[in-house]
């Protein structure tokens, strides 16, 4: 029941009890008034009966005194008193008006009749006195019959008084009892009113209002400070407190929803900032390794809890090769055919949004196939890689848009690195031979010399020139000349392997840096190159080119020259080999001996 209803009922009950108490108090006051009226009536009756009794005895005494003393003044006084006495009817009417009952009036009337009879006897005695019969008059007023009549009149009056006293006492007792009962009832009503008031204060105000309001006030204070973790009290009663509790509960739920949305918004902004930062870092990458490092660093933070792999498409042979992974994805990272991935086939992320049921990619393990997402890395309309994400569940799946943006950024970065690599290949490597060109030589020479100085190891330089190359071009054509250059370059590269760095220094000239080799080891390597070139056969179309020879000059640091003169010294040795007739090997150390 609502507090307002309870309060209204309590207010109504209080008003009713107050009115009832007032009415009872009025009734009790009336009972007191009746009691006072009964006492007053008794006093009035006593006064009237006393007057009647006094008048009767006074007339009797005056008459007796006159017959004894024969004093005319006494007779005169008797006449005056007799004239002033009222008749029986007047006296009884006065008693009736005062409230005497018929029984009481009848009893008193009998006494008054006796008094009247006594007055008649008094008149007879006075008449005899007037006739001179004094003795008879005295005998009449002092006789036993007269005394008996006086006593009988006195008994009737006394009986009337007794009856009147009994009735008055009864009326007073009844009025007193009624007044006491009504006052007790009034006190009970007042007590009930007080109890009801205490009930309203204790039960409604304290228990139903004060305690819940104090609890709700604490909750509201904490909610105002955005502490939405506070538990709202569970007041299920259907009243104002229940309405307030329900409203506070709804406010808390709205606050929790708002906090959840704010957290999601903050997480969303954090992911956007990570994507922006990753994109900026990718723009600064200078190699594929830089791109892979950025991917493995940012991917677990952009997609928390989601493991994944990054694949690159190799063109020859055509296969998807895993180059990076994070958070321990399931399954082996072995290469697979691009056709095994539906995302590569479709050129779109797979499976699509709300795409269940759908076919799964064949390269995925069966245990995660239905919890995976494949996003192709597209650049210039061509798939160059794949981003494979695992463990995607409804409760931890980030927005697909962010994953696709990450894939787009990685695709562009990888495409840029591929283009960068191709440009570097064209800028640093000779397209005909595949060897490094002179643009790469200065940096390589500085790094090799620096390493040799730090490790106190030697470094040798071979300067190689194809003998009579112009005659080959003139006789067999430029295609044949190119074939000769490619053949010599392949022999040089195969001979030095990973122990040296080969460069195409000029048209038909080559330069080789041999780190860690002294003059003797370098001479042995040069001899191997010289012999293999001399024994090789070069064809141009159906024509077989005659034997190809090379001249080689050798210089070694620090055995022969300082670091900044290494190439020049090897070139001097080569020039000396040509002076000596070509097709030979000359070391810079041999020049001093000659």
Better pLDDT: 116 or 568: 568
List residues with catalytic annotation: 508
The C-alpha atoms of residue 270 and residue 274 are separated, in whole angstroms, by: 6
Q: Environment class of residue 581 by beta-carbon count within 10 Å: exposed (0-12), middle (13-18) or buried (19+)?
A: exposed
Please tell me the predicted confidence (pLDDT) of residue 256. 77
pLDDT value at 525 more than 90: yes
How does strand 500-504 pair with strand 585-587? unpaired
Find the range with the poorest average confidence among 88-92, 149-153, 302-306, 548-552: 88-92
Please tell me the predicted confidence (pLDDT) of residue 439. 78
pLDDT value at 463 more than 90: yes
Which sign, positive or negative, has the C-alpha torsion 342, 344, 350, 353? negative
Q: Which of 146, 150, 66, 161 is nearest to 107 (CA)?
A: 161
Better pLDDT: 450 or 165: 450
Please tell me the predicted confidence (pLDDT) of residue 490. 93
**Peptide bond preceding 558: is omega within 30 degrees of 0, i.e. cis?**
yes
What's the pLDDT tens digit per position in 364-397? 988 888 888 899 998 878 888 999 988 887 766 5
CA 585: distance to chain centroid? 86
Q: What's the pLDDT band for 495 if we cut at 50, 70, 90?
A: very high
3-state secondary structure 4-44: HHHHHHHHHHHHHHHHHHHHHHHHHHHHHHHHHHHHHHHHH
Please tell me the predicted confidence (pLDDT) of residue 203. 62
Q: Environment class of residue 119 by beta-carbon count within 10 Å: exposed (0-12), middle (13-18) or buried (19+)?
A: middle
Is there a contact between 509 and 570 (Cβ–Cβ < 8 Å)?
A: no
Q: What's the pLDDT band for 523 if we cut at 50, 70, 90?
A: very high
Both tokens of residue 313? 């498409």
Please tell me the predicted confidence (pLDDT) of residue 169. 77
Better pLDDT: 575 or 74: 575
Better pLDDT: 38 or 331: 331
Q: What's the pLDDT band for 571 if we cut at 50, 70, 90?
A: very high
Q: What's the pLDDT band for 398 if we cut at 50, 70, 90?
A: low
The helix (H) or strand (E) run that includes residue 406 is helix 400-428
Please tell me the predicted confidence (pLDDT) of residue 220. 75
Please tell me the predicted confidence (pLDDT) of residue 556. 94
pLDDT value at 361 more than 80: yes
Stretch 432-448: mean pLDDT, rounded? 86
How does strand 373-379 pair with strand 459-466? unpaired
Q: Which of 111, 76, 74, 77 is nearest to 92 (CA)?
A: 111
Stretch 66-91: mean pLDDT, rounded? 72
Beta-carbon contacts of 176 under 8 Å, excluding residues fewer than 6 positions away, are 31, 35
Average pLDDT value over all residues in the chain: 80
Please tell me the predicted confidence (pLDDT) of residue 354. 66
Per 3-state DSSP, the chain is made up of helix, strand and coil in percentages (nearest 5) of 65, 10, 20
For the chain, what's the residue count?
594
Q: What's the pLDDT band for 569 if we cut at 50, 70, 90?
A: very high
Q: What's the pLDDT band for 161 if we cut at 50, 70, 90?
A: confident
How many CA atoms lie within 13 Å of 85's alpha carbon, on the beta-carbon side? Answer: 21
Helix axis angle, 144-199 to 3-69, nearest 10°: 170
Which string of DSSP letters, residue by residue, matches 95-114?
HHHHT--HHHHHHHHHHHHH
> With pLDDT > 70 as the criterion, what percentage of the chain qualifies?
82
Q: What's the pLDDT band for 6 if we cut at 50, 70, 90?
A: low
Q: What is the DSSP letter of 374?
A: E
The pair phi, psi for residue 146, each rounded to 5°, is -65, -40
Please tell me the predicted confidence (pLDDT) of residue 28. 63
Q: Which of 527, 521, 526, 589 is nearest to 561 (CA)?
A: 589
The C-alpha atoms of residue 309 and residue 555 are separated, in whole angstroms, by: 49
The C-alpha atoms of residue 372 and residue 396 are separated, in whole angstroms, by: 13
Both tokens of residue 138? 């005295």
pLDDT value at 159 more than 90: no
The helix (H) or strand (E) run that includes residue 282 is helix 240-283
Stretch 346-358: mean pLDDT, rounded? 78
pLDDT value at 303 more than 80: yes
Please tell me the predicted confidence (pLDDT) of residue 459. 94
What's the pLDDT tens digit per position in 242-281? 777 777 777 777 877 777 777 777 777 888 888 899 899 8
What's the pLDDT tens digit per position in 179-195? 778 778 777 877 777 77
Q: What's the pLDDT band for 4 if we cut at 50, 70, 90?
A: low
Helix axis angle, 3-69 to 240-283, nearest 10°: 160
User: 566 by DSSP, 3-state: which?
Assistant: helix
Q: What is the DSSP letter of 237?
A: S
Please tell me the predicted confidence (pLDDT) of residue 104. 66
> With pLDDT > 90 as the criterion, what percentage of the chain qualifies?
21
Please tell me the predicted confidence (pLDDT) of residue 91. 58
Is there a contact between 410 and 282 (Cβ–Cβ < 8 Å)?
A: yes
User: 268 by DSSP, 3-state: which?
Assistant: helix
Please tell me the predicted confidence (pLDDT) of residue 205. 62
């Amino acid at each position: 029941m609502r507090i307002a209803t309870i309060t209204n009922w309590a207010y109504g009950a209080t008003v009713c009890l107050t009115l009832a108490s007032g009415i009872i108090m009025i009734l009790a006051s009336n009972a007191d008034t009746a009691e006072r009226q009964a006492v007053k009536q008794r006093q009035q009756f006593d006064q009237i009966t006393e007057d009647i009794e006094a008048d009767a005895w006074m007339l009797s005494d005056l008459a007796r005194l006159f017959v004894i003393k024969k004093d005319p003044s006494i007779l005169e006084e008797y006449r005056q008193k007799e004239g002033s006495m009222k008749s029986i009817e007047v006296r009884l009417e006065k008693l009736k008006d005062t409230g005497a009952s018929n029984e009481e009036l009848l009893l008193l009337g009998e006494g008054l009749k006796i008094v009247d009879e006594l007055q008649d006897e008094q008149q007879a005695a006075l008449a005899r006195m007037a006739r001179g019969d004094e003795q008879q008059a005295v005998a009449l007023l002092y006789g036993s019959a007269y005394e008996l009549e006086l006593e009988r009149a006195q008994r009737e009056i006394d009986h009337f008084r007794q009856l009147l006293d009994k009735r008055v006492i009864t009326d007073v007792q009844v009025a007193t009892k009624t007044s006491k009962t009504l006052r007790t009832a009034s006190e009970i009503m007042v007590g009930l009113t007080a109890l009801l008031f205490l009930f309203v204060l204790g039960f409604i105000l304290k228990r139903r209002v004060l305690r819940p309001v104090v609890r709700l006030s604490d909750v509201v204070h904490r909610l105002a400070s955005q502490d939405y973790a506070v538990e709202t009290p569970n007041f299920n009663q259907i009243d104002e407190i229940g309405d307030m509790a329900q409203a506070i509960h709804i406010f808390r739920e709205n606050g929790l929803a708002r906090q959840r949305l704010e957290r999601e918004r903050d997480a969303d902004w954090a992911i956007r900032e990570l994507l922006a930062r990753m994109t900026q870092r990718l723009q600064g990458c200078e190699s594929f390794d830089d791109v892979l490092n950025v991917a493995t660093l940012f991917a677990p933070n952009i997609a928390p809890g989601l493991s994944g792999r990054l694949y690159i498409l190799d063109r020859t042979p055509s296969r998807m090769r895993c180059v990076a992974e994070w958070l321990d994805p399931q399954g082996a990272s072995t290469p697979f055919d691009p056709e095994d991935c539906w995302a590569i086939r479709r050129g779109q992320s797979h499976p699509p949004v709300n795409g269940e049921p759908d076919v799964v990619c064949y390269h995925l393990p069966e245990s995660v196939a239905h919890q995976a997402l494949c996003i192709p890395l597209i650049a210039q309309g061509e798939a160059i890689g794949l981003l494979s994400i695992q463990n995607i569940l409804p409760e931890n799946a980030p927005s697909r848009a962010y994953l696709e943006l990450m894939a787009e950024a990685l695709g562009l970065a990888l495409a840029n690195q591929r283009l960068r690599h191709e440009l570097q290949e064209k800028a640093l490597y000779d397209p005909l031979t595949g060897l490094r060109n002179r643009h790469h030589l200065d940096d390589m020479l500085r790094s090799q010399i620096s390493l040799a100085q730090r490790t106190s190891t030697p470094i040798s330089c071979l300067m190689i020139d194809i003998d009579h190359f112009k005659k080959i071009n003139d006789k067999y054509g430029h295609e044949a000349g190119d074939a000769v250059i490619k053949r010599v370059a392949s022999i040089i590269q195969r001979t030095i392997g990973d122990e040296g760095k080969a460069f195409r220094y000029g048209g038909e000239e080559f330069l080789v840096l041999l780190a860690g080799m002294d003059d003797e080891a370098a001479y042995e390597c040069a001899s191997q190159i010289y012999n293999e070139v001399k024994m090789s056969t070069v064809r141009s179309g159906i024509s077989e080119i005659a034997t190809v020879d090379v001249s080689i000059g050798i210089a070694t640091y620090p055995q022969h020259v300082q670091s900044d003169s290494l190439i020049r010294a090897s070139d001097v040795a080569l020039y000396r080999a040509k002076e000596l007739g070509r097709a030979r090997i000359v070391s810079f150390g041999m020049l001093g001996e000659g």
